[in-house]
Amino acid sequence: MWLYSYLSNMLVICLYATQLSSGYFTAYEAQEDDKNCFCELRGSINDCSCDVDTVDHFNNIKIFPRLKSLLVKNYFRFYKVNLNRKCPFWPQDSKCAIRFCQVENCEEQNIPKGLIEPTKHHSNGEPPGAAYKYTKEAQEPACSDADDFNSILGFLDTSISDQAHKEFELWAKHDEAEEDFCIMDDNQEDAQYVDLLINPERYTGYKGDSAHRVWKSIYLENCFDTQNQNNSLPDYVAHLDLRNLCLEQRAFYRIISGLHSSINIHLCAKYLLSESKDFLDPQGIWGPNIDEFKRRFSPETTNDEGPHWLRNLYFIYLVELRALAKAAPYFKKEEYYTGIVEEDEETKMAIKDLLSVIESFPSHFDEHALFSSSREGIKFKREFKEKFRNISEIMDCVGCDKCKVWGKLQTQGLGTALKILYSEKLNQATVSGLWQKPNVEGDHIFRLTRPEIVALFNAFGRLSNSIFEMENFRKYLR
């Protein structure tokens, strides 16, 4: 009997010891996995006042779910873009022939009439909100207003020549363009609507010299001078070189690097895993490619730069988050008109809900840290703007149409964010409390076009998606 009791006790002790040992090694392996997981970012985001964990939680729990439901709305899913502009920097001698590079045509009957007929009124005679108010018709005074004005001031001399009117319009356009960080599509007649839902951003197979030349041009021809003068087609500017740059120069590089990282994450998360052999069947099997993600960001394959690139994603996220918070009063007054009354109301409510959450973020990016009022600060702002305009034009050199759509959209969205952060008109509107109210010349203090609004929210949605996908890749790598 005592032998049975002894053996039973020994068995219990052995099992308990085995559990302890198993728990110890599991914890040890988990620590090693976290250590070896290069995308397990911790600590503060350089040049910002918050840390990675705060952004992860805020985005993945509060922001991403709201954006995911908002961006499928008709107002945001149709983006008008000109894909026919020629590359201004080099002969466009390469075109992606892979079928996944092609943009699926958007049938006109699927586009809400409020988007393609912006100058028409509602059935009740009211102007159609945001789609109408920026047209020439909306800017002209009503006849009754003009009659009242003439009765007070007497007969107006209308002998200004047509040439003078054209010059006034050019001056106005020049003043408007001075605040832009992007070169806008100058010929909207050549532009087309693209349904972003049926043309998602994902890996298309576009790569090689053509794609590499685009990013080389962005980094080497548009970045400020650094110690890295190697012209052997590097994919990046070394992280250590940033220590010798001023804040404005670091911010410029980190914004571009963050955009690059975000795009690479999208391609890794929606990778073509298996292609259908039937050319008439456009469907393939898409999903996360862990090996591709490691190739693009692992320290072993990027000379220890990958984790820095991923951290820059959080920097650009905070920049665009701050732009949305700063312009929240403006966006809350927008109509988001598509002509579909019920959905337009839902969109406005969803926007207000999203903006209230964004405004609650405790550690927004401080745009005042850049571009002081000194001569040097003004010079940096001018250079910053010129370089970013060049980058927006480089997007016309992308040889894959679907990549070009998303490249132009995200670049324009980022340019719109920078316009908001550093617009003198917006600063005046913020100080005076005036939003979308005409001044004495009849112009608006600050305004955005529909393409700018659509690009900004979708671009921020791409950054939000990247941070969300980062968490998925962490799980896979663990």
Catalytic residue flag (residue 14): no
**Is 202 assigned a ligand-binding role in the annotation?**
yes
Given a contact cutoff of 8 angstroms between Cβ atoms, the answer to whether 296 and 268 are in contact is yes
DSSP annotation of 326 reads H
What's the token pair of residue 371? 């571009």
Q: Who's near 361: CB < 8 A, 6+ residues apart? A: 58, 321, 325
**Is 257 assigned a ligand-binding role in the annotation?**
yes
DSSP annotation of 393 reads H
Q: Which helix (H) or strand (E) holds 376?
A: helix 375-394
- CA nearest 417: which of 374, 378, 388, 379? 388
Q: How many helices (H) and strands (E) does the chain have?
A: 19, 4
**Is 322 assigned a ligand-binding role in the annotation?**
no
Q: Catalytic: which of 39, 96, 182, 403?
A: 403
**290-297 vs 450-477: helix axis angle to the nearest 10?**
100
**Is 243 assigned a ligand-binding role in the annotation?**
no
Q: Who's near 49: CB < 8 A, 6+ residues apart? A: 363, 366
**Is 363 assigned a ligand-binding role in the annotation?**
no
**Is 215 assigned a ligand-binding role in the annotation?**
yes
Catalytic residue flag (residue 403): yes
Question: Which amino acid is located at 98 in the chain?
Answer: I
- CA nearest 422: which of 434, 414, 433? 414
Known binding positions for FAD = 202, 204, 215, 257, 260, 296
Could you list the active site residues?
400, 403
Known binding positions = 202, 204, 215, 257, 260, 296
